[in-house]
Structure 1
Amino acid sequence: MKLALRSFAMKYIQNLHSERRAQLTATLNGERWKIADVPYELQSVVSKICELESIPHTLQYESGGPDGKYLVINKENYAVVATVQLLIKILLEYCDATKQSPDIVQYLVHCMLELIRLFNSRCCQLVLGAGAIQSAGLKTISTSNLALVSRSLQVVLWLLPLILDLLVKLHSKELLLNGFSSIENDLISHKQEIENKICIIVSNMLSSQLSGWEAKPPVPSQTFRNISKHLVKLHEALIDILPIEQIRSIYIKVHDNFKDKLREQLAKMNIVANGSPQHGVVTSELTFYLQTLKTLRVINENDSEDNILYDIWLN
C-alpha cells in the first residue's frame, strides 16, 4: 500500500513538473523584460518568509490587498519581471511538497534545480544573447532589460539558500544537495556578465563620442554634452531597478573605461598637463563631466575632484 502511494505521488509530481516546466518556458519566451506588478498574494508569502527568515512548512497566500510595483524582500525593493514571479511560485509549490519520503524529495530537488537552470540559461539566451528580439518582438535589448534580469537573478539568489535550508532541516542525511552550490555560482556569474554588458554598452557610446572630440572652445563641447546625456540616460534606466550600490559599481567601471579612452585620445592629440590653453580646455571639459557624475551621486565622495583630474594625466 505504501509503495503504491509512493508510486502515485511520484507520478503526480512528474506530471506536475512537466506542466510547470512548459509553463515557465512559454512565459520566458514571451517575456518582454518589463517591470511587472507584484500580486499581493505573492508579496504576502514572501513577507512571511522574510519575517521567519525561513520557508514555513505550510505556505499561506493572503488575498485582498493591492498589487505592488516592487517585490519587497527584507525591506528592500526588487523590480522584477513576471517570469521570476512565476518561478518563485513554482519553487515554493515544490517546497510545500517536501514533506514526502526522501526519494520523492530527491526528485523534487532535481526538478527545482532544473527549473532554476532553465530560467538562468534561457534568460542568458534571450537577453544577453538578444534572443528576445525574435521571441518576444523586442526592438532592441536595452540597459533596462539587462538590469531587470540582474535584479530577477538576485531574487533567485535570495531564495536559493532558504530552499536549501528547508531541505537540510527535513532530510539532511537522505538527500544529495551539491547541485545548489553549482547553480548559485552560475547565477552569480550570469549577474556579473550582465553588469559587464551594461558597462560595455555605455563605455562604447562614450568612446564613440570621444573619438571625434577636439580640445578647443567652446566648453563644454557638444561631445561632452552628449557624454553627459548618455550618463544621465543610463541613470534613468537603472535607478528604478537596481540598488544604488550596484549602480555606483557600474558607473565606477564606466568611469574607469572613460579615463582610459580619454588618456588615449589625449596622447594622440599630444596634449599634456603643462598649463597650455588646450590643457585648460581639457580641465574645463572634465569639470563639466564630473559635475554630471556628482549630480547623479554615483561617484565616491572620498574621491575628490582634484584627484580625478590629476588621475587623467597618469600613464
Structure 2
Amino acid sequence: MAHGVCASWWRGRSPCVARRRRSGLPPPTVVMELRPPGKARADVLRENTEAVFAACDAAHGRWAKLLGVRAGLHPRLRLEEFLIIYSITEEFIAATEKIGGRLGYNIRGILQQQSKQFVDYQHNVRMTKIKAVLDQETWVAVDVPEEFQAIVLSLSSTYSSVNGMEMPSTDDNSKFSDHQPTSQELTYSAENNADNGKVTSGTGENQVESTSQSANNVAGNLKSTLQTIVHGGVGYHMVNCGLILLKMLSEYVDISKCLPSLSLEVVQRVVEILKLFNTRTCQLVLGAGAMQVSGLKSITSKHLALASQIISFIHSLIPDIRRVLFLKIPEARKQLLMSELDRVAQDYKIHRDEIHSKLVQIMRERLLANLRKLPQIVEGWNAPQDNDVQPSQFAKAVTKEVTYLHRILSQTLLEVEVQTIFRQVVQIFHSHITEAFTKLEVSTPQAKDRLCRDVQHILACIRKLPADNFSSETIPNYGLLDEFLAENFGTKVGE
C-alpha cells in the first residue's frame, strides 16, 4: 500500500519547489514503496535458518573429519575412554539436530562404524589372549579373588536385589572347601595305551598354588580370596584360564550395556569365544595337547577333574549371560541367537561327559593292566610253602588305585558327578575281575584261601565307593563279584 508523505524539507532546496511556491502551487508529494512487515520477517528467518543449517553441516563435517583422523586410535581405547568420545559425539549430534533441524546421517554412520570397529578389535584381542592363556595353563587349582565372585553375582538373578548385589555369607562357601590333593594320581598320555593310566608320584603341577601366587596370576595382590567360586548354590574349583574367561565375559556384558545398538554383534562374539575356549580346552586336556604346549609330563586325573569343573561352571553360567545380553536384542533376532547359545551349552555338556568317561577309561585301563599280571601271581599260590595271609599284590594294587581316584575326584568334583563315575567303575570291577577269577586254575586249599581273601579285600574296597542306589535294605555296590564269592566260598561281604 502506497503512503503519501509531505516532503517539507524539500522546500527551499530545489528550483522546482521555489517556482511552485511563487506560482501558488502546493509542494510536491514524495511517494515511498515499503515491503509488508510479515514478508520481511520471513525473509530474515529464512536467511538465518539457512545460516544455521550451513553452520551445523559445517560442524558435522569438521567433527566427522576429526573422528576419521582418530579412526585408528578409537578401537584400541578402553571401554571407559571410548564411551567418553561416543557420548560426547551423541550429545553433539542431538544438539545440532535440534538446532539445525536436519538429521546427521553422515556423522551417525561414522560413529556406528567406529563402534563396530571397537567391538571387533576388542574381540580379536580377547580371542588372542584367551588362546595364549590356555596354551600356558598348567591346570592347577587357584583361589578365587572376591571380585570374580562379585562378577558371578552381578550376572546371576539369584542374588540380585533392588538396592544392588548381595554377597552370600561365608558359611555358604564352607561346604565347598577344597582339600589338599593326594601325592599320587592316575595319569594318561597321548598314546592312550594300557599303561597310560599308571600311578605316578605327584609333581609340582598337581599341587594347589598358594593364595598370593594365585591372586597374582589373575587379579594382582588381593587380600580376600575364596577356595571356590559359587554359582547357583554350587561351588566350583577354578584354574587361571577360567577366571580370565569369566572376566572377559563380564567385559562383553559391559560393552553390550554401554553400546546397546551393538548388542547383536556382542552376542555373536560371545558365542565365538565360548566355542574357542571349549574346543581348545578339549584339545589340551582330553587330547593331551598340554603335554606339548604347556610342558606337562602327563595329564593326571586331577587335571581332568579341574577341566570338568571349569566346563561345568561355564555351562551353568550360560543362561545368565544369555539373559543379560538379550535385553537389547530385537525379538525377531532372539530365536536364532538363542539356538546358537543352546548349541554351545550342549557342546559344553558333551565335553564334560567325555571327561568323566575318560576318568572311567583310565580306571578300566589300570584294572586291565593289573589283570594281565594276575596269572603270574596265582602261580605262586599253589606252592606248598605259600603261607601268606595278606591279600595279593594284585588286590592291593587295584584297591589302592581306585581309592586314589576316589580321593582325588571327591576333592574336586560334585558329589553327583563322583557317584556317576564310580557307578561305572564299580560295574567294570565286578565284570572284569569276576571274569578273570572264573578263568583261574586254583587247585590247592591255600590257593583257594588266597583267592577268597582277594575277593573279600576287593569287595571291602568297593563297599566304600560312592553308591547312588544304596538304601538301608540293600548292600552298597552289590554285583557279580559278590555272587562269585557266595557261589564258590559260601560267604558274603558287607552284610
TM-score (norm 2): 0.57
Offset, 1:190 = 0.9
Secondary structure of the structure 1 residue equivalent to 2:256:
coil
- Aligned AA for 1:74? G
Superposed CA RMSD: 3.0
Closer, same or farther: CA 238–307 of 1 in aligned 2, 3 Å: closer
Structure 1 position 233 matched with structure 2 position 404: yes
C-alpha contact (below 8 Å) 2:470/2:476 kept by paired residues: no
Summarize deviations over 1:41-90 as a string: whole Å, max 9, x none: 1112223444636799x9999x9651122112233221111111111111
| Residue number among 329, 335, 341 corresponding to 1:171 in the alignment | 329
Summarize deviations over 1:273-306 as a string: whole Å, max 9, x none: xxx8766654432332232234454574335169
| Residue number among 308, 325, 342 corresponding to 1:150 in the alignment | 308
Closer, same or farther: CA 289–263 of 1 in aligned 2, 3 Å: closer
Secondary structure of the structure 2 residue equivalent to 1:77:
strand
Offset, 1:161 = 1.0
C-alpha contact (below 8 Å) 2:228/2:237 kept by paired residues: yes
C-alpha contact (below 8 Å) 1:54/1:162 kept by paired residues: no
- Aligned AA for 2:462? L
Query: Corresponding residue for 1:17?
Result: 123
Closer, same or farther: CA 277–50 of 1 in aligned 2, 3 Å: farther
Closer, same or farther: CA 260–205 of 1 in aligned 2, 3 Å: same
CA distance in 2, matches of 1:129, 1:296: 28
| Residue number among 185, 194, 198 corresponding to 2:359 in the alignment | 198
| Residue number among 86, 89, 109 corresponding to 1:3 in the alignment | 109
Equivalences for residues 39-50 of structure 1 within 5 A: 39-50=145-156
C-alpha contact (below 8 Å) 1:59/1:96 kept by paired residues: no
Identity %: 26
Secondary structure of the structure 1 residue equivalent to 2:225:
coil
Closer, same or farther: CA 218–172 of 1 in aligned 2, 3 Å: farther
CA distance in 1, matches of 2:233, 2:320: 17
Query: Corresponding residue for 1:27?
Result: 133
C-alpha contact (below 8 Å) 1:251/1:299 kept by paired residues: no
Secondary structure of the structure 2 residue equivalent to 1:192:
helix
CA distance in 2, matches of 1:171, 1:311: 61
Structure 1 position 185 matched with structure 2 position 354: no
- Aligned AA for 2:405? L
Summarize deviations over 1:235-284 as a string: whole Å, max 9, x none: 2322221012211211111111122211331342267xxxx876665443
Secondary structure of the structure 1 residue equivalent to 2:152:
helix
Greater CA drift, 28-37 or 1-10: 1-10
Structure 1 position 293 matched with structure 2 position 436: no
Closer, same or farther: CA 78–54 of 1 in aligned 2, 3 Å: same
Tell me which stretches of 4 or more aligned residues in structure 1 moved more than 4 Å.
Answer: 53-56, 58-61, 100-103, 214-217, 276-283, 296-300, 311-314
Secondary structure of the structure 2 residue equivalent to 1:138:
coil
Query: Corresponding residue for 1:304?
Result: 475
Closer, same or farther: CA 264–55 of 1 in aligned 2, 3 Å: farther
Equivalences for residues 102-113 of structure 1 within 5 A: 104-113=262-271
Structure (1 or 2) with the larger CA radius of gyration: 2
Structure 1 position 36 matched with structure 2 position 138: no
- Aligned AA for 1:32? T
Query: Corresponding residue for 1:131?
Result: 289
Query: Corresponding residue for 2:369?
Result: 208
CA distance in 2, matches of 1:167, 1:41: 21
Closer, same or farther: CA 40–307 of 1 in aligned 2, 3 Å: closer
Count residues in correspondence: 308
Offset, 1:189 = 0.9
CA distance in 2, matches of 1:286, 1:172: 65
- By relative contact order (CA 8 Å, sep 6+), the higher-ranking structure is 1
CA distance in 1, matches of 2:323, 2:233: 21
CA distance in 2, matches of 1:306, 1:49: 41
- Aligned AA for 2:365? N
Query: Corresponding residue for 1:91?
Result: 249
CA distance in 2, matches of 1:245, 1:289: 23
Closer, same or farther: CA 32–298 of 1 in aligned 2, 3 Å: farther
Offset, 1:7 = 1.4
CA distance in 2, matches of 1:280, 1:51: 62
C-alpha contact (below 8 Å) 1:235/1:296 kept by paired residues: yes
Summarize deviations over 1:193-225 as a string: whole Å, max 9, x none: 111111111111112112222565644211111
CA distance in 2, matches of 1:300, 1:277: 36
